[in-house]
Copies of this chain bind each other. A is one copy, B any other.
């Protein structure tokens, strides 16, 4: 089946700017408080009109510093040895076949081609792939169940 799987080419639409210049060694890091500017390609400014009416947005970004090369199929979540070894798709590890991150963040301000957001867990210089409005009816799930190890993060 592998032969059928296509290669996909994207062009970043913007870049994340914040004070976090290197991947943090501390886990969990406390991204909730980090304020970031998403600087969107100025040619796309008009495409942001109306986004300011949403309190939250979804950001898809390219985790450009995720290690390339051979990927382990299983990992300890967040590198914590005391947590069970699980498949990488059961985790949010940046080390995945396509290191695309997805975050739901609070939109503080939209000013021209810049979006100021809070809680985006990405370092300075991270390329942005897409921005979407967060729509609770579509993006959240009621009564979602997670395994016990999640509560030990």
Interface contact B104-A139, CB-CB below 8 Å: yes
Q: Does A90 contact B (CB under 8 A)?
A: yes
Interface contact B55-A87, CB-CB below 8 Å: no
Interface contact A134-B141, CB-CB below 8 Å: yes
Contacts known (A44-B97, A73-B44, A130-B100); A144 close to B138, Cβ less than 8 A: no
- Residues of B close to A4: CB separation below 8 A: 15
* Nearest-neighbor residue (CB-CB) of A151 within chain B: B137
Q: Does A27 contact B (CB under 8 A)?
A: no
Interface contact A13-B141, CB-CB below 8 Å: no
Interface contact A97-B138, CB-CB below 8 Å: no
Q: CB-defined interface of A6-45 with B at 8 Å, one 1/0 digit per residue? A: 1111111111000000000000000000000001011110
